[in-house]
Structure 1
Amino acid sequence: MITNIIFRRSDSPMTSDKPHYENKLPNGWCLTNIGELLINRDGERKPVSSAIRNKQKNKVYNYYGAAGIIDKVDGYLFNERLLLIGEDGANLLSRSKDNAFFADGKYWVNNHAHVLDAIDKNLLDFVAIVINAMKLDDYITGSAQPKLSQDNLNKIPIALPPLYEQIRIVAKLKYWFSFVDCIEYNKGNLQDTIKQVKSKVLDLAIHGKLVPQAPMDESASELLKRINPKAEITCDNGHYQKLPEGWVITSISEMCENINGLWKGKKEPFVKVGVIRNANFTKDFKLDYSKIEYIDVEERAFKKRHLLNGDLIVEKSGGSDNNPVGRAILYEGKDAIFSFSNFTMVLRIHYKDVLSYKYLYYYIMSKYQKGEMRLMQTQTTGLHNLILDKYLDIPLCLPPYQEQQRIINKIEETFGVLDLIMENL
Structure 2
Amino acid sequence: MNAQDLKNSILQRAIEGKLVPQRAEEGTARDLLIEIRAEKEKLIKAKKIKKTKPLPEITDDEKPFDIPDSWEWVRLGNVGNLVRGSGIKRSDIILSGKPCIRYGELYTTYRTRFSSAVSQTSKDVFCKSKKVHQNDILMALTGENKWDIALAVVYEGTDEIAMGGDMTKWEYHGMNPIYLAMVINSPYGIACKRNMATGDIIVHISNNKLSEIMLPIPPLAEQQRIVARIEELQPDIDAYDKAQTELRTIEQHFPDDMKKSLLQYAIEGKLVPQRKEEGTARDLLAEIRAEKEKLIKAKKIKKTKPLPEITDDEKPFDIPDSWEWVRFEDIFGIARGGSPRPIKQFLTQSPDGINWIKIGDTDIGDKYIVSTKEKIIPKGLSKSRLVEVGDLLLTNSMSYGRPYILKTRGAIHDGWLVLSPYFEKINKEFFYYIISSPYVHNQFARTVSGAVVKNLNKDLIKIR
Output the TM-score relative to the length of structure 1.
Answer: 0.47
Pick the structure with greater CA Rg. Answer: 1
Higher relative strand content: 1
Output the TM-score relative to the length of structure 2.
Answer: 0.43
